[in-house]
Structure 1
Amino acid sequence: MAGVGDEIRLYLRARVALIVLVTIEEQRAIEILDDVRRERDPSADLVVWDIAEHFTSAARPPAGHRPLPETGDPGTALDKIKELAAKSPDRRDLYVLKDFHEFWARDPRIRRKLKTLAQQLVYTGASLIVIAPTRTVPVELRNDAVVVELPLPTAPQLRAELDALIDSTAGVRTQLGEPGRAKLAQAALGLTVAQAKRAFAKAIVRDGALDDRGLDTVLQEKKAVVRESGALEFHPVEESPDDVGGLDALKRWLTLRERAFSAEATTYGLPAPKGLALIGIPGTGKSLTAKMIGGLWRLPLLRLDVGALFGSLVGESEERVRLAIQLAETVAPCVLWIDEIEKALAAGGLDGGTSQRVFGTILTWMQEKTAPVFVVATANDVAAMPPETLRRGRFDEVFFLDLPTERERREIIAVHLRKRRRDPEAFDVHHLAQISDGFVGAELEQSVIDAMYHAFAEDRDVRTADLTEALLRTVPLSRSQREVIEHLRAWLRQGRAQPASTAPDRRDQSGRGPGLELDLDLDRPGDGPRDLDRPGDGLREPDGWGGELH
Structure 2
Amino acid sequence: MVKHIQRFEEQLDIYLRARFTLLILITQEEERALQKIREVCERTRRHCLTWDIADGFQRLVGQGPLPVARDPLTALEQIDHTEAPTSTLFVLKDFHETWANPQIKRKLRNLAQRLKFTKKSILITTVTSRIPEELRDESVIIDFALPSAEELEEVLNRLTATPGVKVNLTPLGREKLVQAAIGLTASQAQRVFAKAIVEDGSLDDRDIDLVTEEKKQIIRESEALEFYPVTETPEDVGGLGVLKEWLRLREKAFTQEARQYGLPAPKGIGLIGIPGTGKSLTAKMIGGLWRLPLIRLDIGALFGSLVGESEERTRRALRLAETIAPCIIWIDEVEKALAHGGLDSGTSTRVFATILTWMQEKTAPCFVVATANDISALPPELLRRGRFDEIFFLDLPTFSERREIFAVHLRKRNRIPEDYDLDRLAAASEGYVGAEIEQAIIDAMYIGFNDNQREFTTEDILLALSRQVPLSRSQRETIETLRNWLREGRAQSASFREVTEAETQFVPIQLDFKKS
**Which TM-score tier does this pair reach, normalised by the shorter chain?**
over 0.9
State which drifts further: 237-246 or 262-271: 262-271
CA distance in 1 between partners of 2:385 and 2:369 (Å): 14
Q: Which residue of 2 aligns with 1:75?
A: 73
Conservation of the 8 A alpha-carbon contact between 1:250 and 1:399: yes
Q: Which residue of 2 aligns with 1:520?
A: none
Q: Which residue of 2 aligns with 1:488?
A: 482
CA distance in 1 between partners of 2:97 and 2:375 (Å): 41
SS of the counterpart of 1:416?
helix
Instruction: Kindly state the Cα deviation for residue 136 of structure 1 after the two structures are TM-superposed.
Output: 1.8
Conservation of the 8 A alpha-carbon contact between 1:19 and 1:145: yes
Matches within 5 A, 1:29-428: 29-42=33-46, 44=47, 46-59=48-61, 63-71=62-70, 73-82=71-80, 86-104=81-99, 106-167=100-161, 169-428=162-421
Conservation of the 8 A alpha-carbon contact between 2:69 and 2:78: no
CA distance in 1 between partners of 2:466 and 2:144 (Å): 59
State which drifts further: 386-395 or 127-136: 386-395
The residue type paired with residue 108 of structure 1 is P
Of 4, 12, 15 in structure 2, the residue corresponding to residue 11 of structure 1 is: 15
CA distance in 2 between partners of 1:80 and 1:457 (Å): 83
CA distance in 1 between partners of 2:14 and 2:76 (Å): 24
The residue type paired with residue 506 of structure 2 is S
Aligned CA RMSD, in angstroms, stands at 1.8
CA distance in 2 between partners of 1:80 and 1:454 (Å): 83
What are structure 2's unaligned runs of at least 5 residues? 509-516
Q: Which residue of 1 aligns with 2:506?
A: 510
Change in CA separation of 1:70 and 1:138 when aligned onto 2, cut-off 3 Å? closer
SS of the counterpart of 2:396?
coil
CA distance in 1 between partners of 2:22 and 2:151 (Å): 28
TM-score under structure 1 normalisation?
0.88
Q: Deviations over 1:204-247 (max 9, x none)?
A: 11121111122112111211122111211111110000000000
The residue type paired with residue 164 of structure 1 is R
CA distance in 2 between partners of 1:455 and 1:123 (Å): 87
What are structure 1's unaligned runs of at least 5 residues? 513-550
The residue type paired with residue 74 of structure 1 is P
Conservation of the 8 A alpha-carbon contact between 2:57 and 2:66: no
Instruction: Kindly state the Cα deviation for residue 464 of structure 1 after the two structures are TM-superposed.
Output: 2.2
Q: Deviations over 1:178-228 (max 9, x none)?
A: 322122111111111111111111111112111112211211121112211
State which drifts further: 6-15 or 492-501: 6-15
Please identify runs of 4+ aligned residues in structure 1 that moved more than 3 A. 504-512
SS of the counterpart of 2:117?
coil
CA distance in 2 between partners of 1:88 and 1:249 (Å): 71
SS of the counterpart of 1:58?
strand
SS of the counterpart of 2:141?
strand
TM-score under structure 2 normalisation?
0.93
Q: Which residue of 1 aligns with 2:431?
A: 438
State which drifts further: 273-282 or 442-451: 442-451
CA distance in 1 between partners of 2:383 and 2:330 (Å): 15
Instruction: Kindly state the Cα deviation for residue 175 of structure 1 after the two structures are TM-superposed.
Output: 1.3
CA distance in 1 between partners of 2:504 and 2:199 (Å): 59
Of 5, 23, 26 in structure 2, the residue corresponding to residue 22 of structure 1 is: 26
CA distance in 1 between partners of 2:211 and 2:181 (Å): 6
Aligned length: 501
SS of the counterpart of 1:19?
strand
Instruction: Kindly state the Cα deviation for residue 454 of structure 1 after the two structures are TM-superposed.
Output: 3.2
CA distance in 1 between partners of 2:28 and 2:189 (Å): 14
From the CA coordinates, give the structure whose radius of gyration is larger: 1
Q: Deviations over 1:298-338 (max 9, x none)?
A: 11111111222222211111111111211111111111111
The residue type paired with residue 17 of structure 1 is T
Conservation of the 8 A alpha-carbon contact between 2:335 and 2:374: yes
Conservation of the 8 A alpha-carbon contact between 1:437 and 1:508: no
